[in-house]
Amino acid sequence: MFERYNEKARRTIFFARYQASQFGSPEIESEHFLLGLLRENKGTLSLTLDLKSSEQKIRSSIEAAVTRRPKISIIADLPLTDECKRILGYAAGDAFWMDDRYIGPEHLLLGILRESECLAARILTAQGLRLETTRKLISESKAQLASPSGVAEFATQALSAFRGTEVSIVESETSDTLLTYRSRSSVPRIGESIFIRNGDASAQTYRIQDVIWEFEKTSNAAKLQAVTVRGVKETPIF
């Protein structure tokens, strides 16, 4: 079902499923999609829409509108509501009309805004987001990045900004920080295994599940603040 979704969009939907389980919801609702977007917003969307500045207000609005139930296991089969199915359909439509090969978080955001009566859309509208304005901002951002000068400038800025950035390796299940260092050229990639030596001379291998790029939007640019790499402990095979 999600073959046309890029990595960020898939992570957004995974986070939405996780949020639904934490709220004890038997279905994945539009507000869980929105929480998933906020989680993934530490990357692409923050450069265009700066949702991070409204993140706490959005979360508070969801908390006030939704009744929490006992948590559900993350492995439970949670179906999408009809409104979420329509959001995915709208997202696919926007990706088509934007001539994008893959569906990304930006298309999911537009899909939410098109499903105007859902809780997530009402919360975003209250924060000042409008469908046509948001679509225009996203389109302009894509056009700028797609130009040869835009690609070169982005690559130069990204490499320059990345050097010296703090990278934290975090254990996914416990959120314990395993290692912190200043980057030089690269970070572990999703799916890669890394070997970390402990202070007692023992060692453990972790498989990377997620890489989170945290940006701070300034008046005319986006500054990379930190990178968090989340990994899960691998069981040795003898």
Residue 94 lies in a domain: yes
- The reply to whether 75 and 125 lie within a common domain is yes
Residue 152 lies in a domain: no
Residue 113 lies in a domain: yes
Which residue, 123, 146, 169, sits at the end of a domain?
Answer: 146
| Number of H-type helices and E-type strands within the chain | 9, 5
* pLDDT surpasses 60 at 154: no
- The reply to whether 125 and 203 lie within a common domain is no
Kindly give the pairing relationship between strand 193-197 and strand 203-217: antiparallel
Residue 237 is predicted with a pLDDT of: 46
Higher pLDDT, 49 or 177: 177
Residue 185 lies in a domain: yes
Kindly give the pairing relationship between strand 222-233 and strand 166-171: parallel
Cβ 22 vs Cβ 31: under 8 Å: no
* pLDDT surpasses 70 at 46: no
Domain count within the chain: 2
Residue 153 lies in a domain: no
Nearest to 159 by CA among 185, 183, 187: 185
Mean pLDDT of 51-77: 85
Calculate what percentage of the chain has a pLDDT beyond 70.
76
The angle at the Cα of 211, spanning 206 to 215, to the nearest 5 degrees, equals: 150
Tens of pLDDT, residue by residue over 198-225, are: 766 678 888 888 777 776 655 555 566 7
Q: Look up the domain containing 179 and give its range.
A: 158-233
Per residue in 81-111, is it b (16+ CB within 10 Å) or e — as a string? bebbebbbebbbebbeebebeebbbbbbbbb
* pLDDT surpasses 90 at 111: yes
- The reply to whether 185 and 133 lie within a common domain is no
Residue 218 is predicted with a pLDDT of: 57
* pLDDT surpasses 50 at 155: no
- The reply to whether 68 and 26 lie within a common domain is yes
Which residue, 99, 121, 146, sits at the end of a domain?
Answer: 146
> Residue 128 sits in a domain of what CATH number?
1.10.1780.10
Residue 2 lies in a domain: no
Residue 69 is predicted with a pLDDT of: 93
Residue 238 is predicted with a pLDDT of: 40
Residue 184 lies in a domain: yes
Residue 54 lies in a domain: yes
* pLDDT surpasses 70 at 45: no
pTM here is 0.63
